[in-house]
Chains A and B, each alone.
Chain A
Amino acid sequence: MSGSGTQQAAHSLAFRVMRLCRPTLHVDTSPLKFDPCDLLFGEDLFDDPVASSHLPRLLDSINVGQSNNNSTDPSDFSYRTRFLLQHPSDSLGLPGLLVLPQSFGAIYLGETFCSYISINNSSNFEVRDVTIKAEIQTERQRILLLDTSKSPVESIRAGGRYDFIVEHDVKELGAHTLVCTALYNDGDSERKYLPQFFKFMVSNPLSVRTKETTFLEACIENHTKSNLYMDQVEFEPAQHWSATMLKAEDHSVEHNLLTREVSKPPVLIRSGGGIHNYLYQLRSSSQVTAQVKVEGSNVLGKLQITWRTNLGEPGRLQTQHILGNPITRKVIELQAVEVPSVIILEKPFLVHLNLINQTERVLGPFEVWLSQSDSLDEKAIMVNGLQTTTLGEVQALGSLKFQLNLIAIKNGIQKISGFTVFDTVEKKTYDSLLELEIYVDSE
């Protein structure tokens, strides 16, 4: 795999670049190797006493030359290793052969970019005094990876090469350019300058979503094209907090007798959108938070994530500070005080509700209605009468009882979830306050 670059045709030198992430173990999907007795004879032949006493000798004579793998007779023009099973596990197709990276692939934040760079002299003349520089340019910065200006390469002969390997921990997202430049004296002793550019994009490998009360649930989603093996996921709590990871009872823990170790099943997140959740219990180590009623935010801590892919290729990321709201307090709350035990289809029924003001100021007046979902389903429950009910002000930390006259036009179990309260003064809408499940009889 070569890089493209802007170069004049007259240059003696050219850069060749190959990404050097870890090699892969070759997997052969169908080795197509067989035991001779599976091909040459009927499958039941060994049930025949006559056969099973003679066949092994016959088979041995076929296999001679193959069992002795120390023989490296160059005149043995046989490819029997592509056809005959030497060991039963050959059919797994995992010979242990390593393969060089075959394409540039995707690069993700937190990984290490490693590249083999070769500068070739494809001319017929020696070039001298070669100063080579390699740097990574992003939107924000330039990072120098290699600079031979203090000790330039004295010469590269005709047809020769100078190689180097560069590494860079990727810490930024977006467009990156590997800029390779060479300053040299060509065959005519002209000082020439060769720049070559290799572009690549760095994407986000993971997204971390957190949900928290006194428990922190972190959901890690894999946006890469490989499965990610979660090596370590640790929550580093902030000051005043301590965290314990909670895991389900693992009944599948195996005691591998051969290794005499307890081997835990690996956490592997599937490529392209797979997720895995981690749960932490947070405990505050000071009394402070219990008294904090302000909806201020505290810093709970950070998540440190280390993952590995093919052959242990590592990547690491740290999330930003995860914030918590120690007390989730709603501004207003809606409670169902009384719901009739029997509700008949198409017969109006009364639901008694209570609107509670949780703040320390007067709120309202309010308007209350039942909004319908956007789904294509017909409305099941509707307000019987005026669609919007007007309520007066509610005192600080006070409450207001009211009724809604409803009617059901579908029977069976129905959910009423569209209660909407609108503060006409502050112009704020509150929904998702209350969900009621009722059973509607046909008659």
Chain B
Amino acid sequence: MDVPESPPPNSSTAAAATAAADLVEDPLSNPYSSLNSHCHELSTLQDLACRGSWRTVLDKVARARSLSLLNKPHEHLIYLTFNLLALIKLRRFSDAQLELENLDDDLDSRQYLFESYPQQYPNHHPGSMVPFALRWLQAHLPLTLGNRQLSLDRLYSLLHFIRNKKLKPVSRAIDERDNKGASDDNVSQGIWKKREGLVINTIISYHLSQKEFKVCLDLLRAEIGEKEDPILLSKLGCVQMQYGDLEGAKMSFDAVEKMVAGHETSDVSLKNLVSRNKAMIYLVGKDYVSAVREYEECIERDGSDVVAINNKALCLMYLRDLSDSIKVLESALERIPTMALNETLVVNLCSMYELAYVNHADIKKTLSNWIARVAPDDFDTSCTRI
């Protein structure tokens, strides 16, 4: 599975012709009319990823490489990114490391710039062809191999890169010929802002999994200070709950409720957010009946609110109703399998089975067989504890 690090030698005339068709020679043509015009069979890759068919993604990438179906450097990079992501999703971390070694460590190297290939990309806007996800994956991979500190270092470097090289405090000079200059800038800055958020959130999740709560609080508060986001503020409340600050969590959830009330929209997901927060407060106060009531309201508004369904089942258990808690989870899996099937829900269901049945191996096997037929490739089957 060799990934050429330099552009392939002079392509044949046919390939050049196809390549030419994709170029921005005619300003009226739209080179981005479809994913496939941008990169070989990209829409298939995207579709496979959405279905969780990661093994098929690996096959497709291997095939494209062995049959030399990819002509352009940027296509190789996109395929490499999908390959890397597939390996990590399938928890094949050492293989992912090997895949990464096909790359030059420095993603800022000139070989990943469009302008380095004037024959392949005449008139192309200069810039990096590296998909941002590749940078993120490169930073995250050491954690999966046991080197958390290296991942943290890389993430902070990535954050630094975004803040110093990409996010601009002053807008760039507007292209006089293109009166859309200002809004283009906004689009690009908006994208980088989102990426900044992704990196910060990843750092927070690292600290959260190690229960380093104070760091999480500081980082979250800084994020929240920048924008009014009820979902983010709710997550802050959850963090506070995790270490036991119930009063702090209540204050955060109350603020969320005020924020949402001011929105004047009938956005179901926000209404459910407020209800689920209320339910958590009832739950920690051991008022499981009220918590169940809140979750039922959520489910009535949105039958695919899996968080409400899962948490309602747990509340039923704390109300000594093991049978109904099992029913709630089983019916969700039956009714909305692709939304309800997640490792956490299965862990809970299996715990309930182990409590309810002396011979729980049989029923867990039935569940496990069903999962094998239905689940995506990246589903972690160890959650059934068989």
- Is B328's beta carbon under 8 Å from chain A? no
- Is B138's beta carbon under 8 Å from chain A? no
- Contact at B178–A265, with CB atoms within 8 Å? no
How many A residues are at the interface, by size bracket?
35 or more
Interface 9-residue window, one of A136-144, A160-168, A208-216, A277-285: A160-168
- Contact at A56–B187, with CB atoms within 8 Å? yes
- Contact at B243–A266, with CB atoms within 8 Å? yes
- Contact at A58–B252, with CB atoms within 8 Å? no
Q: List 18 A-B contacts (CB under 8 A).
A: A2-B354, A20-B318, A39-B82, A39-B133, A42-B129, A47-B184, A48-B124, A50-B32, A55-B32, A74-B335, A76-B338, A98-B348, A161-B356, A226-B211, A229-B243, A257-B225, A266-B248, A311-B244
Q: A28-B205, A87-B231, A89-B232 are in contact. Are A40 and B35 (CB under 8 A)?
A: yes
Would you list which residues of chain B between 335 and 375 have a CB under 8 Å from chain A? 335-339, 341-342, 344-345, 347-348, 351-352, 354-359
- Is A258's beta carbon under 8 Å from chain B? yes
- Contact at A92–B235, with CB atoms within 8 Å? yes
- Is A133's beta carbon under 8 Å from chain B? no
CB < 8 Å neighbour of A1 from B78, B127, B208, B354: B354
- Contact at A37–B191, with CB atoms within 8 Å? yes
Would you list which residues of chain A between 34 and 62 have a CB under 8 Å from chain B? 34-56, 58, 62
Would you list which residues of chain B between 234 and 287 have a CB under 8 Å from chain A? 234-235, 238-246, 248, 251-252, 254-255, 259, 268-269, 276, 280, 283-284
Would you list which residues of chain B between 281 and 296 have a CB under 8 Å from chain A? 283-284
Q: Please, which residue of chain A has its CB at the minimum distance from the CB of B244?
A: A308
List of B residues within 8 angstroms of A47 by Cβ: 125, 127, 184, 188
Docked complex Cα distance between A24 and B78 (Å):
38
Interface 9-residue window, one of A115-123, A146-154, A379-387: A115-123
- Is A69's beta carbon under 8 Å from chain B? yes
Interface 9-residue window, one of B6-14, B49-57, B63-71: B49-57
List of A residues within 8 angstroms of B205 by Cβ: 27-31, 91-94
Interface 9-residue window, one of A78-86, A344-352, A430-438: A78-86
- Contact at A30–B143, with CB atoms within 8 Å? yes
List of B residues within 8 angstroms of A45 by Cβ: 125, 127
- Contact at B347–A102, with CB atoms within 8 Å? yes
What residues make up the interface of B, taking CB atoms closer than 8 Å to A? 24, 27, 30-35, 38-39, 42, 46, 49-52, 74, 77-78, 81-82, 85, 88-89, 114, 124-133, 135-136, 140, 143-144, 175, 178, 180-181, 184, 187-188, 191, 194-195, 197-198, 201-202, 204-206, 208-209, 211, 213-214, 217, 221, 224-225, 228-229, 231-235, 238-246, 248, 251-252, 254-255, 259, 268-269, 276, 280, 283-284, 302-304, 306-307, 310-311, 314, 317-318, 320, 322-323, 335-339, 341-342, 344-345, 347-348, 351-352, 354-359, 376, 378
Docked complex Cα distance between A37 and B136 (Å):
13
Docked complex Cα distance between A100 and B351 (Å):
7
Would you list which residues of chain A between 211 and 268 have a CB under 8 Å from chain B? 226-229, 231, 254, 256-259, 261, 263, 265-266, 268
- Is A312's beta carbon under 8 Å from chain B? yes
CB < 8 Å neighbour of B344 from A70, A99, A122: A99
- Contact at A54–B128, with CB atoms within 8 Å? no
- Is A400's beta carbon under 8 Å from chain B? no
